[in-house]
Structure 1
Amino acid sequence: MPKNYMETVVDYLIPSVLKKYENICTCEKCIEDIKAIALNNLPPMYIVTDQGNAYAKLNEMSSQFKANVIQVIVEAIEKVKNNVKHD
């Protein structure tokens, strides 16, 4: 079954990026909003085979790839922080 590997990467990186912020809501709704915004601004990376999984993991190790994903997550955090959708 195809899987968007980018979702795994975003799930992995969000907690470490959030640790750098103060005064940010980390409720499930806000985290899901951050994740959705980030994923909508990143190219999907669907994998279906072990070879595809190996390629995705290799790509994940690239420092530039990681920096790009972190930048998109930071932008998503700022959007959610400035537009909280709950009380």
Structure 2
Amino acid sequence: MVTLKNYMEEVVLNLLRGVLEDMDMCKCELCVMDVAALALNDLPPKYIVTEKGELYSKVNSLRNQFEVDVIASITKAAVAVKKSPRHN
């Protein structure tokens, strides 16, 4: 099966928990997904067309190119969510 995928989403989701471990903030599902959404909106999409089995190997090989920018975007998003979480 051929798939169209924004691999930046995979990169963000793979790095997200590691970045958030070092931050003193709420880690409920809503806050974590808000951080992911804000980070992804800050990063350029990187679409690939691939066979299902190739997706993860492509994502991992390309992730290194963007890792620093992704970590910076996740951190920036986490600071924003920590400052204004959408729950009490």
Note whether the superposition's TM-score is higher than 0.5. Answer: yes
- When residues 54 and 10 of structure 1 are mapped into structure 2, their CA distance, relative to the original with a 3 A threshold, is same
For normalisation by structure 2, the TM-score amounts to: 0.84
Aligned-partner residue type, residue 74 of structure 2 = I
1:60 correspondence with 2:63: yes
Gap runs ≥5 in structure 1: none
- The aligned runs of 1:27-66 (5 Å cut-off) are 27-49=28-50, 56-62=59-65, 65-66=66-67
Shift of 1:61: 2.3
Higher strand share: 2
Identical-pair percentage: 40
Q: Deviations over 1:33-71 (max 9, x none)?
A: 001000000010111125887654333123xx2111100
* Matching residue within 15, 20, 23 for 2:22: 20
Counterpart of 1:6 in structure 2 is 8
Runs (4+) of structure 1 moved beyond 2 Å? 49-59
Gap runs ≥5 in structure 2: none
Aligned-partner residue type, residue 66 of structure 1 = E
Residues 2, 48 of structure 1: 8 Å contact kept: yes
